Structure 1
Amino acid sequence: MSAPSVLSASLAPGRHEPLGATVRDGGVNFSVFSAHATRVEVCLYDEAGTNELARHALHGPVDGVWTGFLPGARAGQRYGLRAHGPHAPREGHRFNAAKLLLDPYAREIVGEFRNLPEDHGYPFGHPDGPAALDERDNGATALKARVAAPLAGPGPRASAPRHAPQDVVLYEVHVKGFSMRHPEIPQALRGSYAALAHPVSIAHFKRLGVTTLSLLPVQFAVDEPHLLGTGLRNYWGYNTLGFFAPDPRLASAAVRHDPTAVVAEFRAMVQTLHEAGLEVVLDVVYNHTPEGNEWGPTLSLRGLDQKSYYRLQADDPSRMENLTACGNTVNVEHPRVAQLVLDSLRFWVGEMGVDGFRFDLAPVLGRTAAGHDPQAAFYTALRQDPLLSQVHLIAEPWDAGPDGYQLGRFPGRFMEWNDKFRDGARGFWLGHGPDGKAVTRGEFARRFGASSDVFHPTGPCGDPGQRSPLASINFLAVHDGYTLNDLVSYGRKHNEANGEDNRDGRDGELCGNFGVEGPTDDLAIRDARERARRGMLATLLLSQGTPMLYSGDEFGNGQGGNNNAYCQDNEIGWLDWPNADDALIAFTAELSRLRRAHPLLRHAEWFAVQGCSPETGSAGSTGSPQRTSALRWFHPDGHEMREHDWNDDRQFALSALLSDPHERLLLIVNPGATPTRIALPAAGEGTSPWRLLIDSSGELAPATLSDHALTAPARSLLLCIAAPLFS
């Protein structure tokens, strides 16, 4: 049907579901939620997206939903929304029909956000500030949605691998940063979805033994206003505006300007990774939007129905509640807002094929007027949904609001980023914790054991009977903070390149330079750093819980001490493949292989801890005594750890005996700067003598141990095995 007939067609009442723009029955169905609007219009634009061709009023509302069916319209049509209603900031309303709004359900987005004055609902410089009304029309320059054609085929979900929970090894990675400097990936593909699924990339993932890629945000994002014009951009992507659209900036150059082709490239990436046995988890940002606080632009949700979509301050609804430190907070407690989030998640699983989600600032999603509620309706909906209940659900268990630290308090279905493991493991090998004091053996044992003080059913924060050791996602470094290489090379942050006078980023992040700030030719310092780094990697991959490796840490990638490289879309933020340490990659791969080979290192249930527990300081068990797998802790002198041994801040070496009917493993840890003699417990009747499998320091080669003791090298972690003589 020709364009003129579409433009002159009258809009019939449409279907309420699904929300968004849907091609059907020879036309397009539009459905939009706004509980407080008095009129909602869909505006059609030309191919360039600059000229408004027609404006149609939607029918409704019915239960807050406005609908319309436009016969003759088809995929590819550019459109935006205008919402009429009260401009009453003191009541929480900021309707302004002069502002073209992006459909929250847009699956294809065209245009560029430039933060022009007319993108704001108030005139810059007006004495009334955000309470004033700017009636300039921004339709010519605003972002537009483009009607998407139905996706063809069964999609990549059909080929998704299903790794057993205890086998999962996560790998946090930025789509662009992974490949931009990779010499073996074609230049035309570098930095793209296609590059992440290139055979060279897959070969690296398989060599490392990771099972699940955790991608930094890939949903359509825009840059913060303060970055525009600086030459910097929001590289990490934690500023999502389009919850149903993959970001075109992460697509290969050949397809970047065609939203349909971007979707196809993303789906092909997931399909290829699935065929290689790799899962794909997305980092998603449903806690805030780029519309910021009351001074921010009017792009989508604010203009459609601010009072429904955002949390407003109870004593002053003209101001946004800021539980995210990003200016606003999405009101997921509202049923229709929860629906938006759930519909988006279903789209990424059902249509795009992904295998789970890591929820940024996850407590926001369970916030009620009384604070964070582990039984919030949103969490219940996730766990009951036929599709979403099958995928990984990972919480970043803190936000910026009151009582925002919720580690261990999410429903049992969730895994959680465990910063206690991060700080405990770092501090043990660096020789000091966040408070400057020594990290004790008791603290190390807790973190090695999957933080049973946090996640165990009988722990003070546990969800009785529902938490597994695998709920603890253990990590040493992630995108936000130092890389592993930098945390052993710097004693303070170096964020000068961010243009904020080094004020941004986390102050006091746990790190240590071993005597010299930054790179050094001092061989003793370099050796100490290398031993500490390898000891941490061994701790990460041999501990109980679910390990997560930060991309680049396996080969010594650094960022020059920048612990907040969110805006560094350059060689600071990209992985430094030209200087990759292949020996460190091989070491990391061997640790991963050992984890796969020995079920005792990836236990899905809590061990029966015999003897003195680091949690209680007394004889007891953090697991069922009927279980056949056990964990025992030993002092270097050979006796089982006693109450006073756990908190002794003069000695730090210890060993752990893990056993079941099939094998016995001995983990020996010496984080100190000098070698330490360690008495070996008896290998056990009917077993072979202890055999050393790996020494993180590299001093000792794998061999059978003939004595009842050994000298653990300085800053080393050793793993030994005693296997049954007869199976």
Structure 2
Amino acid sequence: MQQQVRRVEAGAPYPFGATVTQRGTNFALFSDNAEGVELCLFDGAGGTEQERVAVTECTDGVWHCHLPGIGRGQVYGWRVHGPWAPEAGHRFNPAKLLLDPYARKLVGEIKWDDALHGYPVGGGDDADLSMDERDSAPFMPKARVVTTLPLTATTAPRNFWPRTVIYEGHVRGLTMRHPLIPDDMRGTFAALGSQPMVEHLQRLGVTALELLPVHAFTQDRNLVEKGLANYWGYNTLNFFAPEPRYLGNGGLEEIAAAVDCLHQAGIEVILDVVYNHTCEGNHLGPTLSWRGIDNASYYHLMPGEPRFYDNLTGTGNALNTSHPRVMQMVMDSLRLWATVYGVDGFRFDLATTLGRRPEGFDPGHPLFLAMRQDPVLGRCKLIMEPWDVGPGGYQLGNFPAGFSEWNGDYRDVVRDFWVGSDGLLPSFASRFAASSDLFGEGRRRPWSSVNFITAHDGFTLQDLVSYDHKHNEANGEDNRDGHDDNKSWNFGVEGETDDPEILEARARQKRNLLATLFLSQGVPMLLAGDEMGNSQGGNNNTYCQDNEIGWVDWDRQDEALTEFVARLAELRKKRSALSRPAFLTGVRNERGVPDVAWFAVNGARMTEEEWNKPHAKCLVVRLAPARQGDVSLLIMLNAAQHGVDFTIPPGGSGKWEAVLDTAAQLEGERRDMGETVIAEGRSLIVWEARA
């Protein structure tokens, strides 16, 4: 390695990271507690450190310089000097090469070695109090300088929230087994924008594709050693660079091209983002970036014991978003993905952590306020996962206006209802009606509730009706990982079966759950593969299964079920009663018709006694249209095992036509008010008013 020989200019403290100028590149790194910073320049492959540049300019805690003649393609990393004082929260170690938090593209990948740790591994409980002086550069990925020109060419669809249908998928898992996508394209952003993928989403009526994490992430050392992989990606290495495995031959431009293709089809792109923690783990984790740059600024440390991390996320650490520079990093990352790559929204993993202050969760946290006032992010769809593992971590319904939330209560109540649990009618009706008891205050709207039956974390829909218990043996944790309370039912046989009666019962139950999802107020979210009967063999925690267990099996496609989902999406799109922009109140409109009315099976209005019958498992809901000229809907739900006589309630036009029946018995038939129909056991029927 050469000593510093080039001319170094002062440069500017903003923007952070590496910014190409007309004469060279500006570099800027925040570290309020550092005593010195070195910029390390590498060859094009990132294998050889060629030069170190001492950065002497520091403005407001930002170390910066400008290097003439350095341009696009340069590979670099940082070394930061300061005290090694874990008891005081400082873990500076210049022997460790550090990845730029603002890196836009990575070179190489982590090669696990003890030298990646700032302390001597294997030295006992107090090992992290000593500093390890081995160079970590040979084992570290580096950053590559790229230009910052906008890449997307399309205009965002900006689909109205009430008309939104979300499809949660994984870049690799969604495309790795697709028979119509070329082998060399599978598992990449390019595959997401391919014609077969786009056409499938359009057929389903999907308006937003929500992707599991695409930020660069680590392959956890313990998983690699067990022959497994970090599949889901919830262990972020960098918030600005994409996961390299998801890039094909098109480089960064490939992301924007995929977004453009989806936009042209009217489909928005939402990213699942993990700003609550990083891949550096607890005090015994590796030193890869933030820990070595400014540990005391970036992380929540334990009050009075800053050697240790406040493990609010269950992953070993939590980012301190109350620090202005950490909040700035999050905001800069979000804006980059929204402006450069054209992303339309974000789902925030363990979002309660993002609003943490020393005294607990704060709905008025500055980060939330900053997102809502931002001229770019304020127009995005912002969805919060409203929990973490810290004290008071479950905050469903407590996020401020402007944010939607994953409604875990909806998932649990709807599953319980269709399994046949007792005493659920009041809570089921609330969840079916967009959970106004949770989201009705603060001028929030029904789309505050993102409803789901299944998600990446848990059983698929097929497994929900096929397994009573999780089967995670392939994860190498003796089946201890994953949720135990799945609210599932196998209908008498655990797993696969060829019993026709059980297969029909399972198929109907899937239709019941899907129909409930699409008929509920709020925003439906469908898990990729549920529309075709995808199974994970009972594994409800496929975080480490980057293989056939975790990937969607397109060869298994249930064409009838796929068509059923498409029908549901079309019904939701066509009938304004299902996608209202305001919460249901039961108040009569100018035509004297209430927006919602609830009935018992005898056709009479639900009474308090009816609502509170412990064994009642049937309900009728009538929904008035939100649009002039549209028709009312009548929905009958029977979660009992046996058929039940339902009486068509009074009101409306008097004549109703069955447009959907999960038992496939009554579709196309018409009934007058006062007439009786039999709803088969565990079935759902939708009627449309006819003049």
Taking structure 1 as the reference length, the TM-score comes to: 0.92
Q: Which one of 5, 21, 44 corresponds to residue 8 of structure 1? A: 5
Instruction: Specify every segment of 5 or more residues in structure 2 that has no aligned partner in the other structure, as ranges.
Output: none
Quick one: distance in 1 between partners of 2:51 and 2:246? 33
SS of 1:382 mapped into structure 2: helix
Alignment pair present for 1:396 and 2:411: no
Once the two structures are TM-superposed, the CA of residue 197 in structure 1 deviates from its matched residue by: 1.0
Alignment pair present for 1:675 and 2:643: yes
Report the equivalent of 2:531.
554
Quick one: distance in 2 between partners of 1:370 and 1:91? 21
Once the two structures are TM-superposed, the CA of residue 518 in structure 1 deviates from its matched residue by: 0.6
Preserved contact between residue 433 and residue 520 of structure 2 (Cα < 8 Å): yes
Quick one: distance in 2 between partners of 1:246 and 1:489? 36
Instruction: Specify every segment of 5 or more residues in structure 1 that has no aligned partner in the other structure, as ranges.
Output: 256-260, 433-437, 458-463, 611-622
1:469–1:627: structure 2 CA closer, same or farther, 3 Å change rule?
farther
Alignment pair present for 1:198 and 2:194: yes
Alignment of 1:286-297 (within 5 A): 286-297=275-286
Alignment pair present for 1:696 and 2:662: yes
Alignment pair present for 1:137 and 2:135: yes
Once the two structures are TM-superposed, the CA of residue 649 in structure 1 deviates from its matched residue by: 2.3
Report the equivalent of 1:58.
55
Indicate the larger mover: 421-430 or 137-146.
137-146
Alignment pair present for 1:531 and 2:508: yes
| C-alpha RMSD of the superposition | 1.7
Alignment pair present for 1:148 and 2:146: yes
Report the equivalent of 2:486.
509
Q: Which one of 648, 664, 683 corresponds to residue 716 of structure 1? A: 683
Alignment pair present for 1:164 and 2:160: yes
- Letter paired with 1:274: H
Once the two structures are TM-superposed, the CA of residue 315 in structure 1 deviates from its matched residue by: 2.1
Quick one: distance in 2 between partners of 1:556 and 1:283? 24
Report the equivalent of 2:618.
653
Report the equivalent of 2:374.
385
Report the equivalent of 1:618.
none
SS of 1:588 mapped into structure 2: helix
Once the two structures are TM-superposed, the CA of residue 656 in structure 1 deviates from its matched residue by: 0.5
Alignment pair present for 1:329 and 2:318: yes
Alignment pair present for 1:577 and 2:554: yes
Q: Which one of 211, 223, 230 corresponds to residue 227 of structure 1? A: 223
Quick one: distance in 2 between partners of 1:501 and 1:140? 35
SS of 1:280 mapped into structure 2: strand
Preserved contact between residue 4 and residue 53 of structure 2 (Cα < 8 Å): no
Preserved contact between residue 302 and residue 308 of structure 2 (Cα < 8 Å): yes
Once the two structures are TM-superposed, the CA of residue 625 in structure 1 deviates from its matched residue by: 9.8
Quick one: distance in 1 between partners of 2:465 and 2:57? 61
Report the equivalent of 1:43.
40
Q: Which one of 185, 188, 195 corresponds to residue 189 of structure 1? A: 185
Report the equivalent of 1:208.
204
Q: Which one of 544, 555, 558 corresponds to residue 567 of structure 1? A: 544
Once the two structures are TM-superposed, the CA of residue 677 in structure 1 deviates from its matched residue by: 0.5
Quick one: distance in 2 between partners of 1:146 and 1:339? 22
SS of 1:324 mapped into structure 2: coil
Give per-residue Cα distances to partners, 1:438-492, cap 9 Å, x unaligned. Answer: 25211211111011221112xxxxxx3x211111000000000000110111011
Alignment pair present for 1:634 and 2:596: no
Once the two structures are TM-superposed, the CA of residue 379 in structure 1 deviates from its matched residue by: 0.2
- Letter paired with 1:195: A
- Letter paired with 2:664: G
Quick one: distance in 2 between partners of 1:187 and 1:97? 43
**Matched length:** 686
Preserved contact between residue 664 and residue 683 of structure 1 (Cα < 8 Å): no
Once the two structures are TM-superposed, the CA of residue 75 in structure 1 deviates from its matched residue by: 0.8
Preserved contact between residue 423 and residue 613 of structure 2 (Cα < 8 Å): no
- Letter paired with 2:139: T
1:137–1:637: structure 2 CA closer, same or farther, 3 Å change rule?
same
Alignment pair present for 1:71 and 2:37: no
Taking structure 2 as the reference length, the TM-score comes to: 0.97
1:93–1:591: structure 2 CA closer, same or farther, 3 Å change rule?
same
Alignment of 1:11-22 (within 5 A): 11-22=8-19
State, as a whole percentage, how many aligned pairs show the same letter: 49
SS of 1:262 mapped into structure 2: coil
- Letter paired with 1:131: L
Report the equivalent of 1:30.
27
Once the two structures are TM-superposed, the CA of residue 627 in structure 1 deviates from its matched residue by: 9.4
Report the equivalent of 1:374.
363
1:359–1:157: structure 2 CA closer, same or farther, 3 Å change rule?
farther
Once the two structures are TM-superposed, the CA of residue 277 in structure 1 deviates from its matched residue by: 0.7
Preserved contact between residue 114 and residue 228 of structure 1 (Cα < 8 Å): no
Quick one: distance in 2 between partners of 1:265 and 1:650? 55
Once the two structures are TM-superposed, the CA of residue 115 in structure 1 deviates from its matched residue by: 2.3
Give per-residue Cα distances to partners, 1:8-29, cap 9 Å, x unaligned. Answer: 2121111111000011021110
Quick one: distance in 2 between partners of 1:625 and 1:425? 33
- Letter paired with 2:266: G
Once the two structures are TM-superposed, the CA of residue 180 in structure 1 deviates from its matched residue by: 1.1
Quick one: distance in 2 between partners of 1:578 and 1:187? 15
Quick one: distance in 2 between partners of 1:389 and 1:335? 19
Once the two structures are TM-superposed, the CA of residue 48 in structure 1 deviates from its matched residue by: 2.8
Alignment pair present for 1:449 and 2:446: no
SS of 1:486 mapped into structure 2: helix
Preserved contact between residue 424 and residue 439 of structure 1 (Cα < 8 Å): no
SS of 1:75 mapped into structure 2: coil
Quick one: distance in 1 between partners of 2:668 and 2:564? 13
Report the equivalent of 1:84.
81
Preserved contact between residue 608 and residue 625 of structure 1 (Cα < 8 Å): no
Quick one: distance in 2 between partners of 1:627 and 1:103? 63
Give per-residue Cα distances to partners, 1:102-133, cap 9 Å, x unaligned. Answer: 00000011111122100000011224311111
Q: Which one of 487, 510, 518 corresponds to residue 464 of structure 2? A: 487
1:397–1:159: structure 2 CA closer, same or farther, 3 Å change rule?
same
Quick one: distance in 1 between partners of 2:411 and 2:54? 54
Once the two structures are TM-superposed, the CA of residue 172 in structure 1 deviates from its matched residue by: 0.3
Quick one: distance in 2 between partners of 1:452 and 1:715? 26
